[in-house]
Structure 1
Amino acid sequence: MKTRLLGAAATAALLLGGGAALPAAAAPNTANELDLTLLATTDLHGRVLNWDYFSDRAYSDRAGDSVGLAKVASVVDEVRAEVGDERLLVVDNGDAIQGTPLSYYYAVQEPVQETGADHPMAAAYAAIGYDAQVVGNHEFNYGLDLLAAYEDDLGFPLLGANVLDAETGEPAFDPYTLVTKKVKGHKPVTVGILGLTTPGSAIWDKANVEGELEFRDMVDAAEEWVPKVRAAGADVVVVLSHAGTGGSSYDESIAPPENATADIAREVPGIDVMVVGHSHLDKPSEVVVNEVTGDEVLLTQPYRWGSTVSRVDLSLEKVKGDWDVADAEASAIRTAAYPESPAIVDLVADQHATTAAYVNQVVARSTEELSAVTSRYEDTAIIDFIQQVQTDAVAGSLAGTAHADLPVLSIAAPFSRTAVFPQGDVTVRDIAGLYIYDNTLQAVTMTGAQVKDYLEYSAKYYAQVPVGGTFDPEAHTAAGGTPDYNLDIIAGVEYEIDLSQPVGSRIEGLVLADGTPLADDQEVVVAVNNYRRSGGGGFPHIASAPVVYDEQKEIRQLLIDWAQERGVIDPADFADESWWLTIGGTVVG
């Protein structure tokens, strides 16, 4: 197979003016040639509409991208009109049901598995006419009952060849599906679509999947199932791989590699196209040479949230009477050029309105404006708010237990640079904008030495600054590409981070809140979210630490409840400056 990249402009005779698509032109194929088109999305994360529930307005970003399945629907409609339904396949690469207040609301506030309502994401996918989807790691966030209800609502296969039933050892989802296209004047062509997902779910959603599901190495599963897909009659094999390319965010001794897509392409023969996801990158075309056959495998990764749709045009030719892929071309169609589909907007209008009303509920009044804009480089009251709520929840639960007398520390990270509690009314939307993930609260025991190791690891977020140098927040944060959410701040202790020192030797003056030095053998309780506690981010000690609290309470809801019960958010109740950046002993700022 020869593979080449088309520019987006070459594939997008787009609806720039919102007009109707042109009728499909007759494809110039002979009986021995056939063209097919594959459209792919990935990592929609609960986005049906082009709407930002946190800002309560249409979504916008600096790049000018748009988001949501309503935009994607218009792309699909246009391409379907261009090539004909008999030549089109539409697939999604997972992480569909977590990520916005809309998906949260219908998983937690009015869970569809209890109400019987259609899941808004499933309804939109089904209305667009998708052929298959692979299960993403975030599909497990709300438990298996919600996932089962979502799967029932889809009306097309939800795949996962490497996700096994822990009791039987059999696949818990369909490993693959076959889609046969019948084009007039041509022998039918069968496309096999195989689904694989990152094994990291065994770590990140341990509480939901342990004892229920097991996650097999993706390469091993592909080696088993690709030949089976071919044997079942597939002329073309497409692998939906909810994984990126590169290393893992966790210790691979506790789970198979997280991002095995390129390894699959190199090591497993018989694959024509792989749809890539999970890593939220905009990479419409990449070619990997299979080491067994020497054939090229086309990798395409649409951009997250529906910002782009990958278009793969496949040219098939008959070889000894069977279809073979002679050429594949990949490009990105940016959805910003398209209007939202009125059909999809109408489909979820009531659920959208319900969610918007929910997030705009006032839960408390703030005595002053609290902003997260500087939280990545100085102690801020809005992060202390998270720490206080987590500390209160864990300490209250441990009362009367063997751990009641231990100091309680709390870990939080600056998830959003734009989060703010305005002076005056604070809404659910404001709190959700601060704590953007659906994490639950857990707590573990650690030693003082382990806490220091943990902080040293977190401090790699900062670049080194020589003594006498000046700290620049733009130049000296996010070192090595470390994201803000991997800057963990610990409350319940005081400490300095000396930026003049190398990574691993930066934490100074580590003491408990009462000023007592934190001894290496001192046992403490540490409140932490379930993602981090499960090993996400690769922080030391936390994944193996004994769990002493796990009531499956969402941290975001704990924040809302704390504020609602008091009616007032006053930093005097929780603000506590307890960590500082220094350069050679001199405090930054």
Structure 2
Amino acid sequence: MRKSIMTGTLAAAFLATGFGQVHIAEAAENPQAPVTRGEYVVELIKHLGVEVGDGTSITFKDVPKELAPYVEKAVELKLISGINKDTFAPDQKLTRLHAFVIAGRSLQMENAPLSTLDKFKDSKNIDAMHKQALANVAAANILKGFMDGTIRSTKIVTAGQMANILDRLMDNMQTTPVEDEDKVTLRVLGTSDIHTNLANYNYYSDKEDNTIGLANTAALIKKARTENPNSILLDNGDLIQGTPLGSYAALKKPLQKGEVHPSVAALNILGYDAATLGNHEFNYGLDFLGEVMDDAEFDWVNANVRNAATGENYFKPYTILSQEVVDEDGEKHKIKVGITGIVPQQILGWDAIHLTGKVTVDDPIEALEATIPQMEEAGADVIVVLSHSGIGSDTYVKGTENVGYQITALEGVDAVITGHSHLKFPGDYADLENVDSGKGTINGTPTIMPGSYGSYLGVIDLDLELVDGEWVVNDGTGEIRSIEGVKADQEVLDAVKEAHEGTIDYIRQPVGETATPINSYFGLVQDTAAIEIITAAQTAYVKKQVAGTKDESLPILSAGAPFKAGSRENAADYTNISAGPLAIKNMADIYHFDNTVSTVKVTGAEVIEWLEMSAGVFATIDPASTEEQNIIDAEARSYNFDVLDGITYEIDVTSPAKYDRRGTVVNEKANRIKNVQYNGKPIDLTQEFLVVANNYRVGGSYGATFVKEDKSNLTVYAYENREAIVDYIIEKGSINVTPDNNWKFTAFPANTNIMFRTADVAKNYIPEGSNIEYIGEDKNGFGKFRLK
């Protein structure tokens, strides 16, 4: 039974909360008492009989907590908005106009003709934006007007008038047949780029770290499922590589048939529904990947990798989940959710050693354009794309690595989970065309990119309605939720316990000691110990391998890069090892990737070309400018900056780059590399050298440029670069790594202001007597430094 206006119970509640004390008693006895916005909302929600929440989601700062649940529900039902996002003004007197407008928003009816208002003498005073709403309530007999035929829209609504408005509204709702609408909000939860960060543990610092870890993400997953049980859970790839745990499971205690990879064990225990493959899934070869995949209790999908021999999809191109959901009326339905995924074509280069001749990779956009109609024909009601590709740019270039933006615009795609770039969306990419960061959509498609290492959970909510027997996506939103402040999930910790403890035992194995600190803070602007130890160890290893062979007399040049140097705007991503004991964990910190030693024979001319490619990480400095100029291309990756030890040379950053940061020629005649010398003399352009690098560099990065078609000048050793470093330190026992400063920038023109960014803590590690000067703190944990 409907409640009468201002019942004793309501009045008591108002008095108990302290809200509306001035008017409640008066309103109960005096129908002429004015009504406030807050009082009206409470009565309306109570009359509608809807369940209220706890009020914590509202953004208004002036709503008392006792009133908040009612205001929250009114906002949710789209009955009210507010003065602005921070202000609701609950004590402000409510006009008759707004009382009718708010009430009318709860009606389910077709718009009435505006001529409905013609019977009111003062209807011309109603502003255009509210005329339709008032016409609707007038047609519904909620707005009747005064005896003199007026509305008096600007007058304050009284308690008696409020009672009449709400009673008429309830009468209208009782006499209007309500359709049994089949509406469902399907929740899509997503993770990406976990990189074997399963426990809340940093294996490099060898301590608990609650800024990372799927165990922390799991707490958010379980909470999100509680909020909406109509949920599916998906992973977007780069799952099995990236920490010493990944190396341990692949190389130190290799996965055996029947054993479950710890990453898969974690996904199994959390009940993932599907996953796609990232580029790093291919780092250990297809056989190992197959062993990882075969114990999953969920489907792996990929639509653009094909068997090179047969041309068939190498993996399952898509899966369709028959998801049971419960609609708003408590009825159960089955929704068919189609899941597919893609990986960048560039994996053919990045992991050429493992993939050449075994697979081909289709253009991701073309692959999805072919796959999506197949999914629709197979009955998919909803299609979600797992895009292990960054969002990229709103300008499309065929063959580009990051195509997430273009995927959101494909016909038939209802939601996109993207990653690969380790960034965040909503958040990053706000400046692209057709991006709604507030709603979490790109080109109208709900999209999420949940950072990396388990730091965020992506949440997509799709509003579906059953129309003429088919599920239609009416709307959708995307958001990411931070793991900050959550407690690690014990189920996940238990699932990975054996591998986690085995990894800790492994990384704590001692190998030697260093007399000097080793860090990579300045690895992009000067020679550093972090690179020197890599190149020295590689040279020592290869010298032993070529001893007694025809290559023994070849001069050896060793390539090393600052693998950890703040990549992807991560100020914690630097090598920093104190003087003292060294353990395996430090080796993983020095050499971040699971590469294997490789050599390629090149000429002196090709050595210079190699260095020109490496110098593509630098911006071009304007020698005439006195403005601040960043010497490093912000989009470049530090692991592409090879230092070649065994020669000396200079880099002239006032010269345009010959190659861009991807190793593509952009200025054929440019020449940044100057004064290249071997043994104190200008390098002989025809002399042959043996360059030591890694399988990534010679397999698909710019080092592959120098590999002959028959690969007669290439040798790939089945030995990790990291192991070569371990051997070197064990043999030496104690090392004293001092940079030999074999490279430098040519002198900067007078009056130029050259700066770079590195971790702000690097100010404590500026080498004595260097040309580096600390400027001040920058954003995201970085600092600004000047090169003098």
With the length of structure 1 as denominator, give the TM-score of the two structures. Answer: 0.85
Matches of 1:170 and 1:93, distance apart in 2 = 22
Residue 352 of structure 1 corresponds to which residue in structure 2?
Answer: 500
Q: Secondary structure at the match of 2:545?
A: helix
Greater C-alpha radius of gyration: 2
Matches of 1:342 and 1:390, distance apart in 2 = 41
Residue 4 of structure 1 corresponds to which residue in structure 2?
Answer: none
Matches of 1:306 and 1:276, distance apart in 2 = 14
Residue 168 of structure 1 corresponds to which residue in structure 2?
Answer: 310
Q: Give CA-to-partner distance per residue, 1:295-347, whole Å, 9 cap, x none.
A: 84333211111111111001011232100111011111111132111111122
Unaligned runs of 5+ in 2: 1-55, 60-72, 78-178, 436-441, 566-573, 658-669, 751-769, 773-788
Residue 68 of structure 1 corresponds to which residue in structure 2?
Answer: 213
- Match of residue 532, structure 1, among 687, 697, 706: 697
Matches of 1:224 and 1:374, distance apart in 2 = 47
Matched length: 545
Matches of 1:76 and 1:331, distance apart in 2 = 13
Asked if 1:36 is matched to 2:186, the reply is: yes
Asked if 1:331 is matched to 2:473, the reply is: no
Task: Indicate conservation of the 8 Å contact 2:620/2:631, yes or no.
Answer: no
Q: Offset of 1:459 from its aligned partner?
A: 2.4
Unaligned runs of 5+ in 1: 1-8, 13-24, 61-65
- Match of residue 373, structure 2, among 227, 241, 266: 227
Task: Indicate conservation of the 8 Å contact 2:218/2:489, yes or no.
Answer: yes
Residue 282 of structure 1 corresponds to which residue in structure 2?
Answer: 424
Residue 15 of structure 1 corresponds to which residue in structure 2?
Answer: none
Matches of 1:584 and 1:335, distance apart in 2 = 45
Asked if 1:449 is matched to 2:605, the reply is: yes
Q: Secondary structure at the match of 1:173?
A: coil
Residue 583 of structure 1 corresponds to which residue in structure 2?
Answer: 747
Matches of 2:589 and 2:651, distance apart in 1 = 28
Matches of 2:523 and 2:325, distance apart in 1 = 58
- Match of residue 370, structure 1, among 514, 518, 523: 518
Higher strand share goes to which structure? 1
Asked if 1:487 is matched to 2:641, the reply is: yes
Instruction: Say if 1:288 and 1:434 are closer, same or farther in 2 by CA, change over 3 A.
Output: same
Instruction: Say if 1:101 and 1:295 are closer, same or farther in 2 by CA, change over 3 A.
Output: closer
Higher RCO (Cα < 8 Å, 6 or more apart): 1
Q: Secondary structure at the match of 1:449?
A: helix
State the identity %: 33
Asked if 1:361 is matched to 2:509, the reply is: yes
Residue 145 of structure 1 corresponds to which residue in structure 2?
Answer: 287
- Match of residue 275, structure 2, among 133, 136, 142: 133
Matches of 1:404 and 1:177, distance apart in 2 = 54
Q: Offset of 1:178 from its aligned partner?
A: 0.9
With the length of structure 2 as denominator, give the TM-score of the two structures. Answer: 0.64
- Match of residue 78, structure 1, among 220, 223, 247: 223
Task: Indicate conservation of the 8 Å contact 1:454/1:540, yes or no.
Answer: no
Q: Give CA-to-partner distance per residue, 1:444-490, whole Å, 9 cap, x none.
A: 12222222222223224344557799999xx6442343232222211
Residue 428 of structure 1 corresponds to which residue in structure 2?
Answer: 584
Matches of 1:311 and 1:584, distance apart in 2 = 49
Q: Offset of 1:501 from its aligned partner?
A: 3.8
Instruction: Say if 1:316 and 1:295 are closer, same or farther in 2 by CA, change over 3 A.
Output: farther
Q: Secondary structure at the match of 2:558?
A: strand
Task: Indicate conservation of the 8 Å contact 1:177/1:192, yes or no.
Answer: yes
Asked if 1:98 is matched to 2:247, the reply is: no
Q: Give CA-to-partner distance per residue, 1:347-394, whole Å, 9 cap, x none.
A: 222321221121111101223333333322222233111111212223
Q: Offset of 1:59 from its aligned partner?
A: 2.4
Name the amino acid aligned to 1:83.
Answer: N
Matches of 2:295 and 2:433, distance apart in 1 = 35
Residue 252 of structure 2 corresponds to which residue in structure 1?
Answer: 109
- Equivalent residue runs for 1:183-262 within 5 Å: 183-184=325-326, 185-246=331-392, 256-262=399-405
Q: Give CA-to-partner distance per residue, 1:406-459, whole Å, 9 cap, x none.
A: 222111111225424433311111121111111122111222222222222322
Matches of 2:540 and 2:625, distance apart in 1 = 39
Instruction: Say if 1:437 and 1:11 are closer, same or farther in 2 by CA, change over 3 A.
Output: farther
Q: Offset of 1:260 from its aligned partner?
A: 2.6
Q: Give CA-to-partner distance per residue, 1:161-181, whole Å, 9 cap, x none.
A: 211122222112111111112
Q: Give CA-to-partner distance per residue, 1:130-173, whole Å, 9 cap, x none.
A: 10000111001112222112112221111112111222221121
Q: Secondary structure at the match of 2:453?
A: helix
Over aligned residues, Cα RMSD in angstroms?
A: 3.2
Q: Offset of 1:568 from its aligned partner?
A: 2.3
Matches of 1:506 and 1:55, distance apart in 2 = 38
- Equivalent residue runs for 1:564-583 within 5 Å: 564-571=730-737, 575-583=739-747
Matches of 1:203 and 1:457, distance apart in 2 = 16
Residue 381 of structure 1 corresponds to which residue in structure 2?
Answer: 529
Q: Offset of 1:73 from its aligned partner?
A: 1.1
Deviates more, 1:577-586 or 1:141-150: 577-586
Asked if 1:88 is matched to 2:231, the reply is: yes
Instruction: Say if 1:34 and 1:11 are closer, same or farther in 2 by CA, change over 3 A.
Output: farther
Q: Secondary structure at the match of 2:746?
A: strand
Asked if 1:507 is matched to 2:661, the reply is: no
